[in-house]
Structure 1
Amino acid sequence: MVIDPRLNQKLIDLFSYRYRWQSFREIQSKTIPSVLDGKNLLLIAGTASGKTEAVMIPVINRLLELPAGLKCIYFAPLKSLINDVSSRLELMLRPFGLVAAKWHGDLTRSEKLPIAREASILVTTPESVEGIFLSENSDLLSSLEFIIVDEVHAFIDSPRGAQLASLMERIKILSGLDQQRIAMSATVGNPELLLEWLRGSSRRDSVIVTDENRREKTIEVLTEGEVVPSEYLSKLLEETDDKILVFSYSRARAEEFAARARALGIEVPVHHSSVSKTLRVEIEEEFKQDNKLRAIVATSTLEMGIDIGDIDRVIFLEIPPSTASFLQRAGRAGRKGNKSSISVFVEDPQSLYNLLGILGMLSEGSVEPLLPSDHHLPLLGHQLIGLARTRGFLSAVDLAILKEAFPFKKVETEEFEILVNHLVKEAFLARRDLSIISGAATAEIVGSGKEKMDFVVLFPGGFEYSVQLNGHEIGKIHPAVLSSS
């Protein structure tokens, strides 16, 4: 295979011998030189295309040249994905004496801080980085060289995406370095705008790399008048050797499907956000390792790139709400080869129209555009409070960098001044001579406990009760379910 001469021979040997690679995939050959050149990069490639390795091979190559310490922050949207990615990165890094650590809300301080101090790469969420900034551990972020955003489409047009864009600028302000920014996605309808979002204040050259190899997908369209979904699964399990992932867009529908499958003598584990983390991990590992378990049903918890092994077929119990979602879920199948099988159940005329729309967009090679916010004034106020708390003051240079974050592009100078004056009036900021410093009221909201959590997690989820069986948590349930029963 053609190898970039800048790659460390030990790194090439690792993938040649341990991973049995005989050559790089096309997407890796296209990506590696741009990352080695130090360019910001948006990588668009399907699930299981090798895009993580395409990015990490040149990043690890650079880590081998750098002094010890945390040099790369790796953002992922879900805790389960963080756990999966950190395990995969650990296997790549360990032969070189490097460490991959994870940091999220399910881990205690004693579980995450010591290893983060030893790590070269930290896999985490925007909320966790916000918390690090407001703690005595903000120095962890002071020498970062790389910012990687996985599954960027899951962030981009949400409030979390706006928070992430501003955090990238705060990392730059704290470190004084222009980090190399890399984002990965399986589905993007408007890549140029996403690259602009990623670039922010960075002065590096920026490129888009796209995987041109498209897997052939066979789509079978069914109605429940033809066959009941659980009976269809039973037939597939009898007549094929397929590993099958069934997708539902609601937890209730997933549970109903699993119950009907059980009535036919088929055990289909259910994987969704109300199932406990322990049980979800057990399901993932069993599906990946045990050939006897050939089908699971899931909601969005398995839509992203958690490694659950080879999948031959994806079944949709409902029509997805978008082409992007359809591609993301359909892309879970076909890892072993270029072909994959998709089965879609159509419930009514409206769902048929939706499917025809999706297939029409696919035939044109188009996906819905993602539209990140470019005028997020409340978030700007939030970030000014956090920045002043971390830095002690707000300098003109710092503010100029922060203002280049995509969510603040259209905030006018007059609006900015009104916002700062309001924060001073409320004592979140204060004026000292010609400087703006952290205000007295800030300590109350970023100190500790619930107040700090509310500040760090701008967009919290709903409250849920833990459900336990014989002392073990098996899932969570919303209070509304209990009050209505």
Structure 2
Amino acid sequence: SAAVRHGDTAQGVRRRMILDRPDVLLTTPESLESMLVSATIDPRALLSDVRAVVVDEVHAFAGDDRGWHLLAVLERLTRLTGRPLQRVGLSATVGNADDLLDWLQGSNRGRRPGRVLAPAASGGGVPEIALDYVGSVPNAATVIARLHPGEKRLVFADSRRTVEQLGVRLGELGVETYVSHSSLSVAERRRSEAAFAQGRDCVIVATSTLELGIDVGDLDRVLQVGAPTTVASLLQRLGRTGRRPGTSRNLTVLAAEDDALLRAAGLLLLWSQGYVEPISPPPHPAHIAAQQVLALALQERQIGRATWTDWLGGLALVPPAEADAVVDGLLGKGVLDQDSGLLFAGPEAERRYGRRHFMELMSVFTSDPQVTVLHGRTEVGTVDPMVLVAKVTGPRRLALAGRTWTVTHVDWTRRRAYVEPAEGAGMARWVGTAVPLGGRLVDAIRRVLLGAIPAGVILSGRASERLDGLRAERADQVDADRTVVLHADGETCWWTWAGGRANAVLHAALTTVDPQLGHPSRTYTNEHVALRVDATASEVGAALAKARARYGEDLAGAEPEITRRAVQDLKFGDLLPGGLAERTLAERLADHPGAVHAAALPRVERRTAG
């Protein structure tokens, strides 16, 4: 027998699961942990017979904090069952499978054999990949409406706002359209996905929510508006097609702006060269250690201060010396109390995570406060509060679930907005966090600007023409073998093309040893480091020499500056003692090898008129 349990599973289904335990349980790490800490069920009775754990799309866990959370929960489950659990990870897009195997083994490492099974890919043939430049989101909708009529099309976009804009515009163009993203209600997403699965001549527009294999039936075409940030994500999207016998994988990328065109071309260049990013767990998960000791105190009702790490089976979330500091921080904030060396949940834990806030403790990601949108009694989804207070002329209209709504009332106390269907365009807005691009991708963009063309990719005339234009416009920023210190348009930048994390290290190193070298108000981007307007290449070289003398050749002590907002966005970061959250973030924002490589390249200085 099989059963499903997640945050939306009804209580009646959960009760039946306890009485009649399934042979196979499909669940999430968060729901598994909620079972471990539950005060209403006995987790040992429910989970004591577990023998194996299968992690689907394991790469999606390993690259962020959900991976550390998953490993910690698996170690606790191992201890609860009293036996080593077989761990199986599934992935179709990973560049370092051996490293991922080692990571997934956890406490089984050295105790049970592990191996990578990588059968040759079957069928599919050479994928059909095209890159087009359309210039705007409305133009992208027009192209999608005209491409492949009569076929099922899955369209990826990289923001909820773009998904909604496309959904509304495609509907206006007479295309049967559904949308799916994380701010829609579960019922709305399921309705869209089920309707699309049953349809034939239709489009579903989605964020990465549909990247990881959710079943929406047989697909004919996959399109991408904009560009993802990794080759692995590109491969996941490409892999949604070509599953039926006699069909091939296909992907059409529609770039709506210049940056997306360059990013897509860079990704496709890396793909054509066989590159897939290695998956690396984020370093120093001190905040996950704080979450785990509190979860263990809830699970066991009390846990030994000196022994809580034993439950993690050797999983070193923090160095031993920091484990005490983490506990001290929780005690100091009242989240934990202690008596005779035993830790238990304190009054602040009840205030933060009691009752309806309980699942907040199980999730390792921060989500901004949202307003629930209701049509009658039906939940449509959630929106950022700012969209409800922004100045408008006439009725306030929202774009949500691929439709336009007029806001009739906002209950700010209960954070609810009531809407009715409307015609015309509506506003769509959510707050997101920008992710620094990796050095390999940014360097690939540099190579595209130098003339590289991805093999095996069909470039439209519009894409080729715009790429040629960008190569001419940005020729002074790139060089085949050197980085560029460029004076242009009243600004001076060091174009390293090293990626956001490497440039964060370089900016920190330069401005620490020479505070006058940096720009007074700007810092760095994925492509460059901003400098004082009259800075020179020789000054950059001198500052790098001082930085090496201060930090060593590896620049290991040069740490990026961490903003207060970044600390606020680190879930459970506020549970850590002073400075530990900042150190965690500094390690995660830094690419020291990339910075060292960029610093070692020769530099050329250029000036442009104007």
TM-score by length of 1: 0.70
SS in 1 for 2:188: helix
Listed one character per residue, the Cα deviations across residues 337-383 of structure 1 (whole Å, up to 9, x for unaligned) are 35122111134443333223212221232212222134322322332
The gaps in structure 2 that reach 5 residues or longer are 392-610
Listed one character per residue, the Cα deviations across residues 455-477 of structure 1 (whole Å, up to 9, x for unaligned) are 33343423322222243222222
Alignment of 1:249-288 (within 5 A): 249-288=158-197
Matched to 1:125, the amino acid is T
Residue 228 of structure 1: aligned partner: 139
Whether contact under 8 Å (1:134, 1:446) holds in the other structure is no
SS in 2 for 1:185: coil
SS in 2 for 1:455: helix
Cα distance change on mapping 1:127 and 1:269 into 2, 3 Å? same
Whether contact under 8 Å (2:140, 2:256) holds in the other structure is no
Query: Is 1:208 the counterpart of 2:110 in the alignment?
Result: no
Cα distance change on mapping 1:441 and 1:474 into 2, 3 Å? closer
1:420 is displaced (CA, Å) by 4.3
Q: Distance in 2 between matches of 1:374 and 1:156?
A: 11
Query: Is 1:247 the counterpart of 2:156 in the alignment?
Result: yes
Q: Distance in 1 between matches of 2:227 and 2:346?
A: 52
Alignment of 1:39-54 (within 5 A): none
Larger mean Cα displacement after TM superposition, 227-236 or 100-109: 227-236
Q: Distance in 1 between matches of 2:47 and 2:54?
A: 14
2:48 counterpart (139, 142, 148) = 142
Whether contact under 8 Å (1:314, 1:341) holds in the other structure is yes
2:128 counterpart (214, 218, 222) = 218
Whether contact under 8 Å (1:247, 1:298) holds in the other structure is yes
Whether contact under 8 Å (2:178, 2:193) holds in the other structure is no
SS in 2 for 1:153: helix
Larger mean Cα displacement after TM superposition, 229-238 or 213-222: 229-238
Structure with more helix by fraction: 1
Whether contact under 8 Å (1:230, 1:257) holds in the other structure is yes
1:483 counterpart (384, 389, 414) = 389
Listed one character per residue, the Cα deviations across residues 203-251 of structure 1 (whole Å, up to 9, x for unaligned) are 221111224216321112212269933333333344xx43211111122
Q: Distance in 2 between matches of 1:401 and 1:458?
A: 19
Residue 127 of structure 1: aligned partner: 30
Q: Distance in 1 between matches of 2:116 and 2:262?
A: 33
Cα distance change on mapping 1:394 and 1:176 into 2, 3 Å? farther
Whether contact under 8 Å (1:151, 1:183) holds in the other structure is yes
1:446 is displaced (CA, Å) by 8.9
Larger mean Cα displacement after TM superposition, 218-227 or 110-119: 218-227
Residue 449 of structure 1: aligned partner: 355
Calculate the aligned-residue CA RMSD, in Å. 2.9
Matched to 1:351, the amino acid is A
1:336 is displaced (CA, Å) by 0.8
Residue 23 of structure 1: aligned partner: none
Whether contact under 8 Å (2:127, 2:249) holds in the other structure is yes
Q: Distance in 1 between matches of 2:232 and 2:251?
A: 15
Matched to 1:133, the amino acid is L
Listed one character per residue, the Cα deviations across residues 127-147 of structure 1 (whole Å, up to 9, x for unaligned) are 222221111322222221111
Whether contact under 8 Å (1:144, 1:177) holds in the other structure is no
Residue 62 of structure 1: aligned partner: none
The gaps in structure 1 that reach 5 residues or longer are 1-97
1:428 is displaced (CA, Å) by 2.3
Whether contact under 8 Å (2:69, 2:288) holds in the other structure is yes
Q: Distance in 2 between matches of 1:324 and 1:358?
A: 10
Q: Distance in 1 between matches of 2:131 and 2:353?
A: 55
Residue 107 of structure 1: aligned partner: 9
Residue 328 of structure 1: aligned partner: 236
Cα distance change on mapping 1:282 and 1:456 into 2, 3 Å? closer
Matched to 1:320, the amino acid is P
Q: Distance in 1 between matches of 2:162 and 2:305?
A: 53
Residue 412 of structure 1: aligned partner: 319
SS in 2 for 1:208: coil
Cα distance change on mapping 1:102 and 1:364 into 2, 3 Å? same
Q: Distance in 2 between matches of 1:427 and 1:343?
A: 50
Cα distance change on mapping 1:418 and 1:290 into 2, 3 Å? closer
Q: Highest relative contact order (Cα 8 Å, sep 6+), 1 or 2? A: 1
Q: Distance in 1 between matches of 2:144 and 2:357?
A: 48
SS in 2 for 1:361: helix
Alignment of 1:143-158 (within 5 A): 143-158=49-64
Q: Distance in 1 between matches of 2:291 and 2:74?
A: 15
Whether contact under 8 Å (2:178, 2:196) holds in the other structure is no
Residue 289 of structure 1: aligned partner: 198
Whether contact under 8 Å (1:310, 1:334) holds in the other structure is no
Q: Distance in 2 between matches of 1:360 and 1:231?
A: 27
Cα distance change on mapping 1:225 and 1:301 into 2, 3 Å? closer
Cα distance change on mapping 1:357 and 1:413 into 2, 3 Å? same
Listed one character per residue, the Cα deviations across residues 147-172 of structure 1 (whole Å, up to 9, x for unaligned) are 12122222222222211111110001
Listed one character per residue, the Cα deviations across residues 164-205 of structure 1 (whole Å, up to 9, x for unaligned) are 111110001111110111111232122222212211101221
Matched to 1:416, the amino acid is A
Cα distance change on mapping 1:350 and 1:427 into 2, 3 Å? closer
- Percent of matched pairs sharing the same residue: 33
Listed one character per residue, the Cα deviations across residues 406-431 of structure 1 (whole Å, up to 9, x for unaligned) are x52xx333223444455566582535
1:318 is displaced (CA, Å) by 0.8
Whether contact under 8 Å (2:226, 2:257) holds in the other structure is no
Q: Distance in 2 between matches of 1:447 and 1:463?
A: 16
Matched to 1:102, the amino acid is V
SS in 2 for 1:212: coil
Query: Is 1:315 the counterpart of 2:223 in the alignment?
Result: yes
Matched to 1:228, the amino acid is N
Residue 423 of structure 2: aligned partner: none
Cα distance change on mapping 1:175 and 1:341 into 2, 3 Å? same
Matched to 2:5, the amino acid is W
1:344 counterpart (233, 253, 258) = 253
Larger mean Cα displacement after TM superposition, 245-254 or 422-431: 422-431
Query: Is 1:185 the counterpart of 2:87 in the alignment?
Result: no
Query: Is 1:195 the counterpart of 2:101 in the alignment?
Result: yes
Q: Distance in 2 between matches of 1:132 and 1:225?
A: 49
Count of aligned pairs between the two proteins: 379
